[in-house]
Amino acid sequence: MEGMKRQFGPALYFASDKVIFDALNHTQVTTDVIRELLSERGIFVSSKTSKYELAQYFSRLTADYFDHQNIAVKLGKPAKRERITYAEISEPLTQQEIIEALQAAKPALEAQGNVVDIKLDNGRILATLEYDYIDYTEVEFRQVQARDGVIEFLKDASGQYVVRSTQNPEIDIAVNHVFTTINAARTKPVKQNRISLEGTADPALRCKFFEELVHGVEEHNFVTVTEAFCYKPKASSVNSSDDDPKELEDQPNVVRVTLKGTGVTKSFVISDLYAKGYYIVKAVWRVKPKASLDADVFELEAQFSEPDTCTNFSYQARTAIIFEGGKLTDKKRTPKIAEQDTLFRLIEAAAKKAYASLE
């Protein structure tokens, strides 16, 4: 797909014995998975047989296309929950305009390998995209990862539509394609207004944005910052040709700072990091709903995935930490859909307010 960043490496045209053997010996493949593959062929093995021996035996068996597909499904890398991003729309849109644009864009998106489903859900307009993500750095049977993303049009507090979507290159391109289709039918084009600190170069102000954000989630009490990632761009980074997508934690020149316990807020605001040219590009923090003393604590995350420019703002509700017996436990759960939706709205409002405080 045009505009996507690709990684290049060997492609799986034929699964040789060695390919199958290497896949089955992957550290994330359990012995039980190999036993299941053998069981499907009517072969039962002793529980004492080692994983290496089982992988060696299975890799010598004759395998056809359907066997390869079956192995790939079992050994495929599980998709992780991705971050969310949103944009305010510069001009009012009607539900009909959005639906017609999505339907018009659907054939082009499906021609690029997506499976697109469009539906209405309690006033929201949802477009779900299913696609295969290919990572050639993985072993052959784990190169293809099934993913899905969502483009969601919903109304904000003012009654105007905003767009919320999964943040990754595939979905970003799809969102831009939908807006191109919307504008093709309008005399006055609409724009996507996103949170960005590109025009705010002062490290102190960039740190202030996150300080305001973590304390600005309404209806919740701020608990603590558990992680903060600081960044200081190299003088030559603007001209760097390395555009491979990486997690912030893995990028060169990113300093990981873990802030826990008492004094976190003081460290967050008074730290002299910004005086040395560093600024915060990602924060993980905890909040507790004010509505109930027994409510679970939510761990939230927000970041700029382009640290040099502080653009590509995204966020997620990481986890809910269970509050039980009058105290916070080590038990965790995935936030419910309704909880995620509420938290997304509150993070968006807090980010907007934090951005306005810099002006």
Clarify whether residues 158 and 231 are in a common domain: no
12 within a domain of the structure (yes/no): no
- pTM recorded for the entire structure: 0.75
Whether 215 and 342 map to the same domain: the answer is yes
93 shares a domain with 69: no
Ordered DSSP codes for 127-176: EEEEEEEE-TTS-GGGSEEEEEEEEEEEE-TTS-EEEEEE-SHHHHHHHH
Same-domain pairing of 140 and 227: no
Write the CB contacts of 114 (distance below 8 Å, at least 6 apart in sequence).
Answer: 129, 130, 131, 170, 174
Domain boundary among 141, 167, 193: 193
Question: Is-contact 333 319, C-beta < 8 A?
Answer: yes
Report DSSP letters for 254-311, one per residue: EEEE---STTHHHHHHH-TTGGGT-EEEEEEEEEEETT-TTPPEEEEEEEEEETTTTE
- pLDDT reported for residue 243: 47
* Geometric angle at alpha carbon 30, from 25 and 33, rounded to 5°: 100
pLDDT (tens place) for every residue of the chain, 359 residues total: 444 444 444 444 456 788 788 878 877 778 888 888 888 888 998 888 999 999 899 888 887 777 777 776 666 666 667 899 999 999 999 999 999 999 999 998 888 778 889 999 888 999 999 887 776 666 666 666 778 899 999 998 888 999 999 998 889 999 999 999 999 989 999 999 999 999 998 888 998 999 999 999 999 999 988 888 888 877 544 444 444 555 655 555 445 455 555 445 555 554 566 677 788 899 999 999 998 888 999 999 999 999 989 999 999 999 999 998 888 899 999 999 999 999 999 999 999 999 999 97
Give the per-residue pLDDT at 113.
74
**Whether residue 265 is found in the same domain as residue 343:** yes
Nearest-angstrom CA–CA distance, 274 and 203: 5
Q: What is the domain-level CATH number for residue 145?
A: 3.30.160
In a domain, 189, yes or no: yes
Instruction: Give CA torsion, residues 341, 95, 161, 173, to 10 deg.
Output: 80
**In terms of domains, do 121 and 259 share one?**
no
DSSP 43: -
**Predicted pLDDT at 261:** 53
pLDDT given for residue 268 in this prediction? 59
Residues 316/300, Cβ–Cβ less than 8 Å:
yes
336 within a domain of the structure (yes/no) = yes
Last residue of a domain, one of 193, 228, 259: 193
Same domain, residue pair 351 and 207: yes
* Same-domain pairing of 97 and 209: no
In a domain, 280, yes or no: yes
Q: Which amino acid is at 192?
A: Q
Both 222 and 324 in a single domain? yes
Q: Is residue 263 part of a domain?
A: yes
- In a domain? residue 3: no
Given this model, what pLDDT does residue 199 score? Answer: 92
135/272 same-domain check: no
38 domain residue, yes or no:
yes
Give the chain's domain count: 3
Domain boundary among 75, 103, 119: 75
Say yes or no: 162 and 24 in one domain: no
Does residue 28 sit in the same domain as residue 119? Answer: no
Expressed as residue numbers, the domain containing 264 is: 203-356
